[in-house]
Amino acid sequence: MTEKHKAIWIWMGDRAADPSKVPDFSVLDNVPQMHATKRDRITIKANYELIVDNLLDLSHTSYLHEGILGNADTVESEIAVEQDGDDVVVSRHAGNAAAPGLFAALWPTRPPKVDKFTCMRWMPPSNLRLVTGICAPGAASESGTGYHAIHMLTPESDKTTHYFFTAVRFNVQTADDKLNAEIQEKISTTRRFAFEEQDAPVIEAQQRIIEDAQTAVDPLILAIDVGPVRYKRILQKLIDGERA
């Protein structure tokens, strides 16, 4: 057991624990209190892999979270997938878009149109780190503002998963303490609503379809599924190696 990045990490295997395998959530370290949301959790009645599939499909925000995390302007976006060791990184960039609701609140003096960027890193077996935000059209993403989002998935069973999450703002554009407190609460409540009321019903419906299927399901693979396909190959390799 080790404590790192505001969490306690417990290795349940028979072999000696390797502390270097703790995911890099250093964005949680030494953060101004007003810039971090509360550490929250929900339970989703589905296998953890279905949740990872959802998180790595960055296109779903424009549909499932329309008006909050995405909108019509962010539907057409460039998607890139990279592998960094055993990590899989999926990025999505939408140019010249109206700022989606949550991001508009982060930057009151933003230009009329912005670039929306999202980059999700999967770290085996079930932890993800997201950086997402908006910047001026054509500018570097680092010049804009947004937040780092932490997703920790702890399987409870083959069909249930504890989902822990929090977020940390970066390059904060608002100085007023009262406004920052309101934004802090908005990020917390909006993200919980998105996960609990929008993501979870879809993911749990997928779980039920898999359970009720009379034969093995054969999911349709689309171009946007490159990230999920890549991480599943790595995850299976690691599982096979552990079993061996």
pLDDT at 12: 85
Q: What is the pLDDT of residue 127?
A: 97
How many residues are recorded in the chain?
A: 244
Which tokens belong to 64?
Answer: 């499932």
Tell me the per-residue pLDDT of 74-102, one tens digit each, with 9 for 90 and over: 998 889 999 999 999 999 999 999 999 99
Residue 194 gets which letter from DSSP?
I
The per-residue pLDDT for 215 is 86
Residue 150 exposure: Cα atoms within 13 Å on the Cβ side: 23
Q: Cα angle vertex 13, ends 8, 5, to 5°?
A: 20
Q: In the chain, where does DSSP find H-type helix?
A: 48-56, 61-64, 101-106, 177-193, 200-212, 226-243
- Predicted pLDDT of residue 72: 93
pLDDT at 242: 84
Q: What is the mean pLDDT of each run of 10 residues along the chain (244 residues)?
A: 92 87 94 94 98 94 93 91 96 96 96 97 97 97 97 97 97 95 96 97 96 83 82 95 84
- Per residue, the 3-state secondary structure of 90-136, as one string, reads EEEEEEEECCCHHHHHHCCCCCCCEEEEEEEEEECCCEEEEEEEEEC
Map out the domains of the chain with their CATH numbers: 32-243 (3.90.380.10)
